[in-house]
Amino acid sequence: MTVAITPELLRRFDVPGPRYTSYPTADRFVEAFGEEQYVLALQQRKVSAVGKNTPLSLYAHIPFCESLCYYCACNKIITKHPERAEVYLRYLSREIDLHTAHCGVGQQVSQLHLGGGTPTFLTDEGLRDLMSMFTRSFTLVPGGEYSIEVDPRTVDEHRLAVLKELGFNRLSFGVQDFDPDVQKAVHRVQPADKVFALVESARKLGFDSVNVDLIYGLPLQTPESFNRTLEQVVQLRSDRIALYAYAHLPERFKAQRRINIADLPAPAAKVSMLARSIESFIDAGYVYVGMDHFALPDDALAVAKRQGRLHRNFQGYSTQPDCDLIALGVSAIGRVGATYSQNAKVLEDYYDAINRGRIPIARGLALTRDDLMRRAAIMALMCQGELLYEPFAQSWLVDVPQYFAAELERLKDMEQQGLVCLKPEGVQVTPMGWFFVRGVAMVFDRYLQADRNRARFSRII
> What's residue 2's pLDDT?
45
Regarding beta strands 77-78 and 64-65, do their DSSP bridges make them parallel or antiparallel, or are they unpaired?
Answer: parallel
Please tell me the predicted confidence (pLDDT) of residue 16.
73
Band of pLDDT at residue 11, cut at 50, 70 and 90: confident
Dist. CA 302–CA 320, nearest whole Å: 13
C-alpha atoms less than 13 angstroms from C-alpha of 451 in its C-beta half-sphere:
16
Q: What is the pLDDT of residues 56-81, one digit of tens each?
A: 999 999 999 999 999 998 999 999 99
247 and 122 within one domain: yes
* pLDDT tens digits for range 403-430: 999 999 999 999 998 999 999 999 999 9
Residue 210 belongs to what H/E stretch? strand 209-216
379 and 314 inside one domain: no
Dist CA 374 CA 446 (whole Å):
8
Q: Confirm whether 7 is domain-assigned.
A: yes
Do residues 119 and 130 lie in contact, with contact meaning Cβ atoms separated by under 8 Å? no
- Residue with the bigger pLDDT between 168 and 383: it is 168
What distance in Å separates the CA atoms of residue 238 and residue 286, rounded to the nearest whole number?
Answer: 10
Residue 122 and residue 15 in one domain: no
- 423 compared with 433, residue with greater pLDDT: 423
Q: Is the peptide bond before 24 cis (omega within 30 degrees of 0)?
A: yes
117 preceded by cis ω (within 30°)? yes
Question: Do residue 155 and residue 207 come from a single domain?
Answer: yes
Would the CA dihedral through 119, 123, 128, 134 be positive or negative?
negative
Same domain, 284 and 425: no
Does 460 score more than 70 pLDDT? no
Average pLDDT, the chain: 92
The predicted pLDDT at position 3 comes to 41
- How would you label 81-105 residue by residue, b for 16+ Cβ within 10 Å and e otherwise? eeeebeebbebbbebbebbbebbbe
Res 1: pLDDT: 42
Specify if 413 maps to a domain. yes
Total count of domains within the chain: 2
With contact defined as beta carbons under 8 Å apart, do 454 and 10 qualify?
Answer: no
In a domain? residue 350:
no
Write down the pLDDT at residue 12: 77
**Per-residue model confidence (pLDDT) at position 252:** 87
How far are the Cα atoms of 84, 109, 111, 167, 355 from residue 146, in angstroms, in the given order?
Answer: 25, 10, 6, 7, 29
The residue-averaged pLDDT of 161-174 equals 97
Q: What is the pLDDT of residue 435?
A: 79
Q: How confident is the model at residue 322 (pLDDT cuts 50, 70, 90)?
A: confident
**CATH classification at residue 13:** 1.10.10.920
Do both 402 and 315 map to the same domain? no
Per-residue pLDDT band at 8 (split at 50, 70, 90):
confident
* Stretch 46-55: mean pLDDT: 81
Mean pLDDT over 115-121 rounds to 96
| Cα 420 to the center of its chain, rounded Å | 25
More confident site: 86 or 314? 86
User: Tens of pLDDT along 278-300?
Assistant: 899 999 999 988 878 999 999 99
The answer, yes or no, to whether residue 50 has pLDDT greater than 80, is no
Banded model confidence at residue 193, pLDDT cuts 50, 70, 90? very high
Does any domain span residue 380? yes
CB atoms inside a 10 Å sphere around CB 68: 15
Cα 430 to Cα 440: distance, rounded to the nearest angstrom: 11
> Which of 217-226, 372-381, 441-450 shows the lowest mean pLDDT across its residues?
441-450
276 shares its domain with 137: yes
CA angle 270, 260, 258 (to 5 degrees): 115
The CATH number given to whatever domain includes residue 72 is 3.80.30.20
Residue ranges making up the domain that contains 6: 1-23+368-452
Q: Judge whether 461 lies within some domain.
A: no
Same-domain pairing of 311 and 203? yes
Q: Which residue has the higher pLDDT, 432 or 117?
A: 117
- If asked whether residues 242 and 383 sit together in one domain, one would say no
Do 372 and 306 share a structural domain? no
Any domain includes 332: no
